[in-house]
């Protein structure tokens, strides 16, 4: 069990709800992931039309924590408006805050992100900001009241994995009491394992699962990858060495050797 946003959770894998071939496959993939949290976007699916209403009912039927996001927002005003809509619709003060600054890389506009985060925290939201691995920006977000940070590994949907492990490690060491969720760029289960081995508290996966040949099986693969990464981190990972070290002693006689 671990604590995030005032709730106790079992799993450390968060899963997205976009891009699946069908609502049925989405539902089965989310269940297969054993995730306690699913993210949804109000900008990309209107809850007021017929199809949108069916989608919201399906998401709510999963009986897991819903993390609405402000995907697609480019201004502070827009992001705050979407956050209020989400709080009213889902009866939650959780919001995954996204303020996009570049259409090509979908990199966050960190200046506006901090401004929006400060205002939403002031209004009683539990803000989960999607940010870069920048240490200074992280410091401003924590100062603004964020107890969770969601830095990217690489651009959204790129599948390139963790491009800057040095700065990601630095974030972990500098903010030991802040929940760190690796968000964006994860393409394979091994990327998720790597994030958890760095000490991150969890990962958010969408494209790598939804666009897999078998999203249901891939969701289960990510579940095991996250579990393995966390167990490895807690057990204490072996330090890398420049020279080989034999696992069998070179001095003395192995205990299984018997003289004839």
Q: Which tens digits make up the pLDDT trace of 230-249?
A: 999 999 998 888 877 777 66
Residue 109 has pLDDT above 70, yes or no: yes
What pLDDT score does 135 carry? Answer: 97
- Known catalytic residues are 96
Q: What's this model's pTM, rounded to 2 decimal places? A: 0.89
What pLDDT score does 247 carry? Answer: 72
Of 220, 101, 197, 210, the closest CA to residue 159 belongs to: 210
Q: What are the tens digits of pLDDT across the range 6-25?
A: 999 999 999 999 999 999 99
- Residue 60 CA to residue 64 CA, distance in Å, equals 8
What pLDDT score does 101 carry? Answer: 95
What pLDDT score does 242 carry? Answer: 80
What pLDDT score does 119 carry? Answer: 98
Q: What are the tens digits of pLDDT across the range 148-162?
A: 999 999 999 999 999
Q: What angle do CA 13, 185, 132 make, to 5 degrees?
A: 95
Residue 88 has pLDDT above 80, yes or no: yes
Mean of the per-residue pLDDT values of the chain: 91
Work out the percent of the chain whose per-residue pLDDT is above 70. 91
Q: Could you tell me where the DSSP H helices lie in 1-49?
A: 23-33
Residue 220 has pLDDT above 80, yes or no: yes
Which CB contacts under 8 angstroms, 24+ apart, belong to 137-143? 137/110, 137/113, 138/171, 138/174, 138/175, 139/174, 140/114, 141/113, 141/114, 141/117, 142/175, 142/178
The CB density around residue 213, as the number of other CB atoms within 10 Å, is 6
């Amino acid at each position: 069990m671990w604590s995030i946003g005032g709730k106790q959770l079992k799993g450390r894998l968060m899963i997205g709800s976009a891009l699946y071939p069908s609502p049925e496959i989405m539902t089965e993939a989310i269940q297969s992931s054993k995730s306690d949290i699913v993210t949804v976007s109000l900008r990309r699916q209107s809850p007021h039309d017929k199809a949108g209403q069916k989608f919201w009912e399906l998401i709510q039927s999963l009986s897991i924590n819903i993390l609405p996001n402000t995907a697609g927002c480019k201004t502070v005003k827009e992001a705050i408006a979407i956050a209020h809509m989400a709080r009213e619709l889902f009866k939650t003060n959780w919001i995954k805050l996204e303020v996009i600054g570049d259409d090509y890389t979908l990199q966050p506009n960190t200046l506006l992100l901090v401004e929006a985060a400060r205002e939403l925290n002031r209004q009683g939201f539990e803000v989960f900001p999607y940010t870069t691995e920048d240490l200074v920006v992280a410091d401003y977000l924590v100062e603004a009241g964020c107890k969770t940070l969601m830095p990217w590994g690489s651009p959204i949907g790129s599948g390139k994995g963790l491009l800057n492990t040095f700065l990601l490690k630095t974030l972990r060491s500098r903010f030991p009491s802040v929940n760190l969720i690796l968000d964006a760029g994860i393409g394979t289960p091994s990327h998720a394992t790597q994030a958890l081995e760095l000490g991150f508290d969890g990962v958010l996966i969408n494209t790598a699962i939804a666009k897999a040949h078998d999203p249901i099986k891939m969701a289960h693969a990510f579940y095991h990858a996250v579990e393995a990464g966390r167990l490895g981190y807690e057990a204490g990972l072996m330090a890398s060495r420049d020279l080989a070290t034999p696992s069998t002693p070179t001095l003395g006689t192995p205990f299984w050797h018997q003289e004839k």
